[in-house]
Structure formats: structure tokens, C-alpha cells
Amino acid sequence: MLFDRRDALKALGLAPLALAAGRTFAAPDKTAADAEAERVKVITLVQPAVAAVCFYGGQVCGSGVVISDDGYCLTNFHVVQPTGSVMQCGLADGKLYDSVLVGQDRVGDVALVKLLPKKDGDKFPFVKLGDSDTVEVGDWSLAMGNPFGLALDFTPTVTYGLISGVKRYQPPEGKGTLEYTDCIQFDTSINPGNSGGPLFNMKGELIGINGRGSFEKRGRVNSGVGYAISINQIKNFLAHMKAGIDTDHATLGARVSTAGEEAGTLDNLVFSQIQDDSDAARRGLKPQDQLVAFAGRRMDSTNQFKNVLGIYPMGWRLPLRYKAAGQGATKETLVRLLGNMDKEVEREDQPNDKPPPGPRPNQPPPNPAAAKSAKSPAAKMVEAKKGYANFYFNRQETKRLLAAFKKAHGEATAFTGNWKAEGDMKLADGRAGELKLEWIDDKEGFTEVKLARGNIAPDALKPLAPDIPPADRFLPQGSGGLLSALFQFKLFFSKLDAAGGFKSNDSINPGFTHGGMEPVYPIDADMKVKVGEELTKSRIDCEVIRTAVDNYVTKWYFHPKDATLVGWETTFVKEEDPCEVYACDHKDVNGVKLPHCLIVRWGDKVYATLTIKSYTLGKK
């Protein structure tokens, strides 16, 4: 519809101008008005969950965003580094909430804190996590936070702009820390104080945590280039941080370069150096092998490889495709990743120049009120331990997961004494026979594990007895230590608590701890090793419990939906492959659900399938 401009001017009391006006103008575009209304609606929806992260006493040092109704809040590591473990967070309701550091990712510049409610049972407003892999250049975005500490009532500032780039790389600011990999670049204005605040898409979904920007020389005015850690990267580390872990990012233990770059040509990516004690070396990778794909992404440049590698936690297993030097066939294997903080060859060519400063405020001097933080209820939720940001939360996550496991599997702790299992055993080479397993406790308190297949003499081992020949710990031959793994199985089910037999010689893995989350790739009873799409489809992201007894370290994998045991892996020597056992066909045995099918793998090969027809548990 067209309006006479003179009528509009008359309505405003500007009659003389109306007489002079002879043109008409278009009515405001409804599409633009609707978009504006929708934008305001989204801002109103997410605003209550945006936090101002403060020193104890209320002095603002950065921003954050609440992601669960029980108060878990994401921010930057560099925001909470000066606050210590106890802080306060302000929300748009104008209130300050006592808060505590839960977990941290120093390499990726992320931290998880927890806000404590004013009254037990109160719920917090929170935002939904989005999918940052769907973000495209040109998308609109919203940044929220508290730049320069402007909002004394903690109502966040909102800015609006474009996504300028995706999958960007920003090198470390310190020695291996504050490295932004696969991050989101945007022109949405952020300034000092926005650090740790949320970046939203126009659905109000959290797609990143703002952490770094490019500033003009005085470091106070944004030049229109900001960077956010992608939410999909954070998802990989979230279970680790919830478990109070001081997380580490992954490296491969191998250096990748472009073939022919010294000759001035760009050719294929090849492994130029491989660390001897890395899993990559154990999987058979050699210098001059060609890298084809990693973690499901095709690799075309060294920067792309480093960028993708940086979004995963240390210890994860991920698929890698390569071509052996001089051969045309493409191979695929699973590789366990080393830690970013480890000294290894891959870091030799890291850039040394520092990136532009992030959007952090000038750090204020220690607040006098900080001394009162010891009286905060959050102070009771802090427990220091090497390798952990806050071991208190590791204990909480361990208790929660074990309670869920007991609900799924029942209680076996009352069944003391000897155990037996009988069934069939089939080796990967086709040999088969009747299976007989025994767990026998002797008078000295050691448990002996015996495994017999058909008429063949049984293999036997007392894993905790002194002076065991090293080779015996890996019996049966070719299994990587199945007897040791089966010893752990009974120990776990029959002594399911931190004091129940798990005493470690390893200070980093003390007895019984939550290990965050890791991908697991179960093998079916047909014993075929999956590759490609089948491997991807078989992946289950499992919660992890780490146990240690003597020098044995075991990872236990639990299904995220119901805490059913998916499998476990046991190792005695760090530089050796663990014995992997995948558990399925759980059936009731005297009120306890035990696996009746165990598939055993060592290295790149499946060893055997154990089909158990019956268990005999020790008397109550």
C-alpha cells in the first residue's frame, strides 16, 4: 500500500511541509518488522541465562552463560584464572550467586563453573546448545555479555552481526594454552569484558563462547574481528569438565607435512616424523605414508589437520585413513591420541608469534572482599588434586555414574569367594572349544584367574602376586592380557567402591575416578573389524570410569542412556596396547546382570569371542 507523504506530515503537525511534499513513500516492510520482532523475542528468551563472572564481592571480570537448570555455566579459562576456585556470578535478575570452578580446559580457553541457588531446589534459566557445524558464513549472530562492566545490575549488553568465517585457527597465546582451533569468526562487536559470553544463532541456540578479538593499538576498541570457541568442540570436553578434570587436547604423536614442499610444489600430505611410543607408531604408520582423512574429514593441508586435531580430548580414539608409502590401497585404523601438554614432535612447528589480545578487561587488583570467599558455601565444594581443576566434582560424577550402573546391573558385592563361568570360546582364526573360567581366591588373599579352552592346558595368572614374569601378564598369547582383564572384571563387580580393592601406584589415576566421555567402537560377535561408515555408525560416546590397582590401569565404558556396561580395556605397560573387551548380551544371574558375550581385541586384531552359558557366583 502507498501512502501520500503529505498526509503523513499533516498527522505529525507539519502542514507547511505537507503542502510542499509531492511524493509518496512505501509502508515499512513487513518482513523486516517480523524479523525485528523475532530477534527481540530471542533476546528476551536467552537474556536471563547470560552471566557476569565476578571476583568474590561482585567486581566483574568477564561473562558466561548458564547451560543447565542446576547452574552449570560456561566461560573462558582466562576469565576464571584470576578469580580462583570460588567466585560469584551475576544474572539479569540483579542477583549475585555464589559460584565454584568445576572443570577447565586451559588449551582451549574454556572453563565450567557452577552457580549455587539461593534456596535448595531453585532452578536457573538456561540456554540450549546448538550445532556449530551448521553455522555458515553470512549467518546472523547475537553476542551477549558485560563489556567494560557497564551493566551494574548484570543486564547483559547485546550486539548483532554476521558470521565472517568458520573453522578458523588462532595460535596459542601462551605455551600450548589459549589455542583456538576450528573456531568461529564474526563481526558482531565484542569488547573487553565480553570474554566467556555466549554467541547465539537466531534461534537462540548457543553456537560458541566468545573469547578473542582483534583490537586497535590501544587494545580497547574492536576492529570488527572476533573469535568464538565452537560449541561442538566444547561438547567434546564437557563431560571431562563436569568431572572436575583439568582437560588436555589431543596430538597424534606424528608430524604431518606437504610432500614436495621443499621443492616448491604442493602435493599430498605425508607423515614426516612419528613418535616411537605413540599409538600411531603401534598402528603401523611410517614416515612418508600419506594422510587421507582424519576423524571423518578429508585432509588437504597441514593447517587443516592441526585445526581438526585440536578439537578433541587427549586419549580419544578416532579413525585415520592413509596410504602406505609406495602402495595404492587406502587403509583405515583407529588411533589413540596423546596429550597436547606432552613434549612431542608435533609441536615443533607451532607459531611463536602471539595473536591479537582477546576481549578481556584490564584485570582489577584483588578485591578486598575476596578474603570473605572462604565463608562462601562454594568453598566447601573445592578439593585440590593433581590433574584436576576440582576433584570434588569428580567424586560427585563418580557416585552418580556408579549409582546408575548399580540400577542397571544390580549389586554383586555380596557374592564373595570363587566365581566360575562356562560356555564356548572361538578364536579369530577359527579354532574353537568349550570354555571354562575360574576366579579362585587363595589363602594369601590373591585371586588366580584360569581360562581353559577345550582340552588345551589352561592359562593361569595371579595378577597381584609379586615377581610375576612380565610375559605372563599378557596371557593368553595374542590376547594382550585377557586374564588380567578378567581379573579386573570380577574385582569391579564384587568390590564396587573406591576403597574396595582399587589401590594404585599411579598418582594421576588414583584408584577410582570418573574419566569424562570417550568414543567406543564395539565389535559384534562375528568378530569383523568395522571400517568406514560402519565404524562411524557403531560409535558410542560412553561415560568412563578409570580404575587402577597395582600397576594395572583399566577404563570402563558405560552407555550414556542407562549406564549399561559396554566394555573395558586393561593395560599394564603404558607403551603397550591394552586388552579390549566388549560386553553384550547382559542377562540376570542371581539378581545381577552379567555379560554373556565377550569380544576380545588387541591392537588391530580381534582375538576371540567368549560365549558364556552359565555363571556360578560365590556364596553370599
Question: What are the pLDDT digits (tens) for 146-177?
Answer: 998 887 889 999 999 999 999 998 888 766 67
φ, ψ dihedrals at 48, nearest 5°: -60, -20
Bridge pairing between strands 128-129 and 205-215: parallel
CB 157 within 8 A of CB 256: no
Whether 596 is catalytic is no
Give dist(CA 538, CA 125) in Å, integer: 35
For cell 555464589, name the residue. Answer: 98
Give me 383's grid cell. Answer: 578439593
Whether 109 is catalytic is yes
In this model, does residue 349 exceed pLDDT 50?
no
* Low-confidence winner among 466-470, 494-498, 604-608 (lowest mean pLDDT): 494-498
Give the pLDDT band of residue 416 (cuts 50, 70, 90).
confident
CB 72 within 8 A of CB 188: no
69: nearest Cα among 87, 48, 55: 48
Whether 68 is catalytic is no
Across residues 415-420, what is the average pLDDT?
A: 90
How many C-beta atoms surround the C-beta of residue 613 within 10 A? 11
Bridge pairing between strands 110-115 and 2-4: unpaired
Give me 141's grid cell. Answer: 549472530
CB 190 within 8 A of CB 358: no
Catalytic annotation, pick one of 78, 240, 249, 596: 78
Percentage of the chain beyond pLDDT 90 is: 66
The conformational region for residue 26 under phi > 0 = left, psi -120 to 50 = alpha, else beta, is beta
439: nearest Cα among 473, 486, 494: 486
Catalytic annotation, pick one of 109, 182, 279, 289: 109
β strands within 479-578, DSSP E: 512-520, 540-549, 552-558, 565-571
Give me 476's grid cell. Answer: 593368553
CB 433 within 8 A of CB 454: yes
Stronger pLDDT, 496 or 320, i.e. the higher one:
320
Give dist(CA 428, CA 435) in Å, integer: 15
Give dist(CA 272, CA 287) in Å, integer: 5
Q: Name the most confidently modeled range: 196-210, 251-265, 324-338.
A: 196-210
Provide the pLDDT for residue 353.
Answer: 33
490: nearest Cα among 572, 578, 603, 568: 568
Length of the chain: 620
Question: What are the pLDDT digits (tens) for 179-205?
Answer: 899 999 999 888 888 999 999 999 999
Give the pLDDT band of residue 9 (cuts 50, 70, 90).
very low
Catalytic annotation, pick one of 164, 195, 278, 479: 195
Tell me the domains of the chain and their CATH numbers: 2-33 (no CATH), 128-233 (2.40.10.10), 251-339 (2.30.42.10), 419-616 (2.50.20)
Does a cis peptide bond (omega within 30 degrees of 0) precede residue 476?
Answer: yes
Gyration radius (Cα) of the chain, Å: 29
